[in-house]
Homo-oligomer: A and B are copies of this chain.
Amino acid sequence: MSEIKRFDDLADFSTEEISALLALSNRLERHPEPEALKGKVLSLLFLNPSLRTLASFQASMTRLGGGAFVISPEMSIHGLETRPGIVMDGAAAEHVREAVPVIASYGDALGLRAFAEGRNLTEDLEDREYRGLAELVSTPLINMESAINHPCQSLADWKTMDDLDIPVSAGKFVLSWAYHPLALPLAVPAATIQMAAMRGMDVTVLRPGGFELPDVVMNKARRLAERFGGSVQETDNRSEALDGAHVVYAKSWSSTRHYGDKHSDYQLRNQHEDWCVDEPWFQPAETNCRFMHCLPVRRNVVVSEAVLDGPRSVVVAEARNRMWVQMAVLYAMLGPGL
């Protein structure tokens, strides 16, 4: 891989390519290259809220000598219409069909965030909105979280586990559903289990009934596990899941049984307010079992303060690693290459 054109999905890359990206990100962390992307521009388009992504991509470009600009919906722009074929006589004065190629045209690459609609599971699993917008872009493109993927987060999480010497082949990775008052997207859980599977780990998805991950997600992760030497299973048995775990990665997501039906989702999830990751969860786990989360996280709802502020928690390291891995992606995309 001499150059990356699209960073849509970690599963598009080989082990060698991912190893090279991780090695590059470690090198850039230790040895700054503030001239590598001199005069280069990263366009950042957020169709949804952001903090880490917003900050870390700007910091990434500055550290490499380039720069970024941000367009996001709360700005005083003209309202962005996304529906195809519409007669635009309402509030929105601009359509994404112009906005996206124009914004992309000012940069050497585009970062794009477009969350799931959360209405139609098939559409979200196909990443229809992101793919539709991506078709409008002729520059290199980075997925900054779409309906079903979050490759920058996954690469950062991979680096975080490497930094902590968490075992690869014998490593046990638990992705645990957690309670949250809202029905959240599937992007992070889907991206996370495939990342852990690609890292060759034994992955367990722990969740209550009704929150099973969709077959298409589980099957993709299983195929990757087979290729990379890991395994993927699913359970609602907490002590079984955590037995021997090296990592508990917490995340809330929508009920897949009631996807798009908020009322039924809330009725179901509200029966599981006890799914707040807490110290007793870790009793059967490895002493050094780590707690991971992509942030933002609701304290004492998704995870207790005892865990989040304690020595298990590596959430700030994960967030910081966003910067180093994104620098590697940008360097491979716009700079000297991999």
Residues on A close to B: CB < 8 A?
A: 32-35, 38-41, 43, 46, 48-52, 54-56, 58-59, 61-69, 71-78, 81, 85-89, 93-95, 97-99, 101-103, 105-107, 181, 295-301, 305, 308-309, 315-316, 319-320, 323
Contact = CB atoms under 8 A, between A and B. Distances in A.
Given A78-B49, A295-B102, A67 B67 contact: yes
Nearest to A37: B34
A148 B295 CA distance: 32
Given A55-B69, A105-B319, A295 B181 contact: no
A316 B39 contact: no
Contacts of A76: 46, 48-50, 72-74
Contacts of A85: 300, 305
Given A56-B106, A94-B297, 9 more contacts: A32-B39, A49-B76, A49-B78, A51-B71, A51-B75, A55-B69, A81-B299, A97-B299, A98-B316
A72 B101 CA distance: 24
15 contacts: A34-B38, A51-B94, A54-B77, A59-B69, A59-B107, A62-B69, A73-B76, A74-B74, A74-B76, A88-B298, A89-B301, A94-B296, A95-B297, A98-B297, A101-B316
Number of copies: 3
B62 A295 contact: no
Which 10 A-B pairs have CB atoms at the shortest separation, nearest pair first?
A: A34-B39, A62-B67, A94-B296, A88-B298, A58-B69, A105-B320, A59-B106, A74-B76, A49-B76, A102-B319
A38 B34 CA distance: 6
B54 A75 contact: yes
Contacts of A319: 98, 102, 105
A88 B58 contact: no
A41 B66 contact: no
A69 to B, nearest CB: 4
A1 B238 CA distance: 55
Contacts of A74: 74-76
A98 B320 CA distance: 11
A206 to B, nearest CB: 22
Given A89-B301, A299-B88, A39 B65 contact: yes
B55 A71 contact: yes
Given A64-B39, A94-B296, A102 B51 contact: yes
Contacts of A33: 39
A41 B63 CA distance: 7
Nearest to A322: B106
Contacts of A46: 76
A34 B199 CA distance: 39
A66 B62 contact: yes
